[in-house]
Amino acid sequence: MRLTTIRVTRDRTTAARIDKKHLTLLPHPDVGALIESGFDWAQRAATHSGERIPLHATTTTVPLLTPGRVIRVGANYPTRIKELRQSRPTAPSLSITRPQTTAGSQATVPLPTLPGLGVDWGVELGVVVSRCAHRVPTTTALRHVAGYVVVNHLRTIDSSAVPSESGSVPPTGLERSILLTGPTLVTPDQVPIGGRGLTLTAALDGRLVQKANTSELHFDVATLTAHASTLITLQPGDLITTGTPGGTLDRILEPGQNLRAAIKGLGDIDTDFT
């Protein structure tokens, strides 16, 4: 099943199921609210027979979901580990944040104008949690996955700061973040087990700057989900980001550029910068 969030009027957004020739509107303002609505959310979404609209009438400029928490992993691809000149980690390094701003798969984003500030970015596979998980084993962790999304988590950073051992840059008082997700949430039955074998790419002004496969993840989805559940009790709608490949560390985003972050089978996020 493939789900999205669309705007139907100026003041109303709604989750929707993507069918072959149309969208079926669901009684929830976005996909996140659908997942948080009860343990049987997937069954209700799959069988709902409400209002329909043609596929060509859709818009994906609104956020797919607004997660309560984002669980971010440090360097998790060989190319990223090498880029940061780190040794291979023996356990996932996770940080937990709450998104300051969310945006959809087609957005215009202003870049920081203060000297010394840059933007940390990169395409990632996002994992949305379907139900509560506390200290779950790796063998059953995938039962707690609602689906997979494309993620690009833009973070304004002090470009003079030194990356930490986790691969992230220490926050400053000026840090801001925009969580871009979408355009669809694809349920686990529609992708390979654990989201493996998916190709990620990022193109800046049409030039390929990132390419990797989720089979290269140092810590896979099941491992990350299980480990995160030992730090906090995961809640429906939480988002786990699995890390970005190398290729972005020394690339400075500039006004007027376009960035397309894509995962084959899940869709792409198209962002213009001002």
Residues above pLDDT 70, as percent of the chain: 89
pLDDT digits (tens, 9 = 90+) for 150-194: 999 998 866 555 444 444 444 444 457 899 998 999 999 999 999
The residue among 202, 211, 175 whose CA lies nearest residue 271 is 202
Q: Is the pLDDT of residue 33 over 90?
A: yes
pLDDT tier at 59 (50, 70, 90 boundaries)?
A: low
Task: Please state, rounded to an integer, the average pLDDT across all residues of the chain.
Answer: 90
Distance CA 64, CA 8 (A): 14
Per-residue pLDDT, averaged over 62-77, amounts to 94
Q: List domains and CATH numbers for the chain.
A: 2-57 (no CATH), 70-273 (3.90.850.10)
Residue type, 99: P
The phi-psi region of residue 29 (left if phi > 0; otherwise alpha if psi is between -120 and 50; otherwise beta) is alpha
Structure tokens at 261: 């972050």
pLDDT of the residue at 173: 45
- What is the model's pTM? 0.91
pLDDT of the residue at 171: 45
Asked if 235 contacts 69 with a C-beta cutoff of 8 angstroms, the reply is: yes
pLDDT digits (tens, 9 = 90+) for 98-144: 988 999 999 999 988 755 567 889 999 999 999 999 999 999 999 99
Query: Residue 12: exposed, middle, or buried by beta-carbon count in 10 A (0-12, 13-18, 19+)?
Result: exposed
Element (H, E) at 231: helix 221-231
pLDDT of the residue at 23: 95
pLDDT of the residue at 233: 98
Pick the range with the lowest mean pLDDT from 38-47, 110-119, 254-263: 110-119
pLDDT of the residue at 164: 45
Per-residue pLDDT, averaged over 202-227, amounts to 98
pLDDT digits (tens, 9 = 90+) for 244-257: 999 998 888 999 99
Compute the CA torsion angle 129, 49, 105, 69 (nearest 10 deg). -20
Distance CA 163, CA 74 (A): 10
Compute the CA torsion angle 261, 262, 263, 265 (nearest 10 deg). 160
DSSP assignment letter at 45: H
Per-residue pLDDT, averaged over 57-86, amounts to 89
Compute the CA torsion angle 152, 158, 161, 165 (nearest 10 deg). -30
Residue 230, SS3 per DSSP: helix
Q: Could you tell me whether strands 239-241 and 94-97 are parallel, antiparallel, or unpaired per DSSP bridges?
A: unpaired
Question: What sign results for the dihedral spanned by CA atoms 140, 221, 192, 15?
Answer: positive
Pick the range with the lowest mean pLDDT from 20-29, 39-48, 95-104, 159-168: 159-168
Residue type, 35: I
226 vs 172, more confident: 226
DSSP assignment letter at 117: E
